[in-house]
A and B are shown apart, each in its own frame.
Chain A
């Protein structure tokens, strides 16, 4: 870029009327490109005239792959779409399958799903705030955010065995109930003394729910920390206020959803407006911005931290007092337990059929959407009655957001492009699919 500017200056000195626009290639390997975004920027000096995102570098044809696998086999692909909000993607997938099968999900499973959806929302927003602040110049935020992500990923691990790609939700419920014992750091460490180990394990003495509750007690304090660092920070405001402004009308036109839409002042949240799972039984508020700039979207997401925390606490209370099944007992769709399989012939047959062939979906089509941390994440199935989807379409919020990039950065400086990428919360797993 420096050479380009220099050339322009040199040329400009020789002949002022020469073409002033030049093209700048941003990415695909750029730390602020959040993955593999290649932006072709047409610039007039340091001002963006046109931005043309080139995507598809992470295209894995998930939708085509799903057409060759039975439904449960495609479920782990969902984790790999938006790989920072794994369980929310799974939720959309299982909702679509359950809608078509007409399957009843046990209430406890729905609460567990909602709780993990909100844990996922916090996970996602933590990565977002860390990366966004890092792009804009506040390095500390990144370290803060990853400190909390560690705890939440331990929750993922405790419940599913995987820290990121959980594959925990299944059509008909969740894979298993919450563990009674939170896994602890073990034994004699070379790096930690016995006292230190004890301190590390302090909040892991009880069940997973105790651990999460302990987290929800601490978390509002952490959010306050982020806010002291950023909200009134002069540099942060200079970089975010009035950057990437979207009016409500334009945001709707461009198909923006989630915090991107709410930042522009549209009160729209699927959890409230078209409630799924048990969101209609929970008490929470929807934060809305006014100006539609990056700063408002930041404030919206910060408030979502607090609201998610609130939802998690309500779920913990409910889950403590209401034991029950977490998986539908319809064994044509859900696998029977291992103990049943060892005793009953029929259970063994069910398991064999489910693994080797999967379940068949009735003919038809359905679309199910969830309020994903980034916006509306939807799964559209077309089924011809087979055990595999005939067509699966993933409606990824990031795809629509990135399409609005051009409009959002026009007339801004090059450095603001980084802010806009950050505020859009782009993850390429879902954009490219």
Chain B
């Protein structure tokens, strides 16, 4: 499986040489990184050319790299990740394009795959990434009138406001959250000897 994706990786590199920045094959999956200027042209080619033929956009999501590796991240803060599937050729590919912090913008792929519609709305809602050319970029998962982008790493898990019924005013009101943020399991990054090459014999 990995061999197949190595071949596909070299095919992608050959075809798009200057328009992509990196390809890597990991866990039998091919990831291609590309700058956002070339996103649409590469995507169109990936969909239409017979050797790729990715007719389905399976998934599209945002990623916020703010806290990555406890602050070792130096690249652009956000990324948009596309998972494509070719039903005809039976292979998959992952595209990633990085976008900066202030006003993250990326071209919409709605015209290439119609399924991008709701996925882009979701990424906009949760991460505040703006998809240029999307005709109807509304919030989708959060409440009407929600403030902020909840999946950003600087958005607290317990949120900023809570809702309750106020008997005095006779209506539902928003107020700052009263619950304390808590962390039950600390986040640790361990250099785990299991994953170092070569794997130690016998002991695990």
Contacts and interface: CB of A to CB of B under 8 A. Distances in A.
B189 A61 contact: no
A403 B117 contact: yes
Contacts, number: 132
Interface of B: 26-29, 31, 55-59, 61, 63-64, 67-70, 81, 83, 85, 87, 90, 92, 94, 113-115, 117-119, 122, 139-143, 150-151, 157, 183-190, 192, 194-195, 204
Interface stretch (A29-37, A156-164, A393-401): A393-401
A99 B27 contact: yes
A380 B204 contact: no
B26 A365 contact: yes
Given A387-B188, A388-B185, A400-B118, 13 more contacts: A56-B139, A56-B140, A56-B142, A64-B150, A73-B185, A255-B56, A255-B113, A268-B87, A366-B26, A369-B58, A384-B69, A390-B67, A393-B81
A324 interface: no
17 contacts: A56-B139, A63-B151, A69-B184, A73-B185, A250-B114, A252-B55, A253-B113, A360-B188, A362-B192, A366-B27, A382-B63, A388-B185, A390-B68, A391-B64, A399-B118, A399-B119, A433-B141
The 9 closest A-B pairs by CB, nearest first: A255-B115, A56-B141, A403-B118, A393-B61, A395-B59, A384-B69, A362-B195, A59-B141, A360-B190
A286 interface: no
B146 to A, nearest CB: 9
B94 A332 contact: no
B179 to A, nearest CB: 14
A273 B57 CA distance: 17
B157 A378 contact: no
Interface of A: 55-56, 59, 61, 63-65, 68-70, 73, 99-100, 250, 252-255, 257, 266, 268, 273-274, 330-332, 356-358, 360, 362-367, 369, 376, 378, 380, 382, 384-388, 390-391, 393, 395, 399-400, 402-404, 432-433
Given A65-B157, A254-B114, A432-B141, A395 B83 contact: yes
Residue from the set A61, A266, A356 with the largest chain B CB neighbour count within 10 Å: A61
Nearest to B91: A274
A404 B115 CA distance: 8
A68 B83 contact: no
B135 to A, nearest CB: 13
A59 B151 CA distance: 12
A427 B192 CA distance: 39
A332 B195 CA distance: 12
A366 B29 contact: yes
Contacts of B83: 367, 378, 380, 395
A70 B186 CA distance: 9
A222 B82 CA distance: 42
B31 A378 contact: no
Residue from the set B58, B113, B188, B204 with the largest chain A CB neighbour count within 10 Å: B58
A360 B189 contact: yes
Contacts of A432: 141
A61 B148 CA distance: 14
Nearest to A386: B189
A165 B114 CA distance: 34
B141 A64 contact: no
A26 to B, nearest CB: 17
B61 A385 contact: no
A61 B69 CA distance: 22
A360 B191 CA distance: 9
Contacts of B26: 364-366
Given A255-B113, A395-B83, A432-B141, A358 B27 contact: no
A403 B27 CA distance: 31
B157 A64 contact: yes
Nearest to A60: B141
A372 B59 CA distance: 15
A50 to B, nearest CB: 11
A331 B184 CA distance: 22
B149 to A, nearest CB: 11
A63 to B, nearest CB: 7
Residue from the set A55, A69, A268, A367 with the largest chain B CB neighbour count within 10 Å: A367
A268 to B, nearest CB: 5
A217 B187 CA distance: 50
A68 B186 CA distance: 9
B187 A388 contact: yes
Contacts of A395: 58-59, 83
Contact of A253 (B55, B140, B195, B204): B55
Given A255-B58, A266-B87, A395-B58, A385 B115 contact: no
B27 A364 contact: yes
Given A367-B83, A380-B83, A390-B68, A358 B185 contact: yes
Contact of A273 (B90, B114, B157, B194): B90
Nearest to B152: A64
A64 B188 contact: no
Contacts of B142: 56, 59
A385 B69 CA distance: 7
Contacts of A376: 58, 85
Contact of A400 (B115, B190, B204): B115
A122 B69 CA distance: 42
Nearest to B69: A384
A379 to B, nearest CB: 10
A404 to B, nearest CB: 8
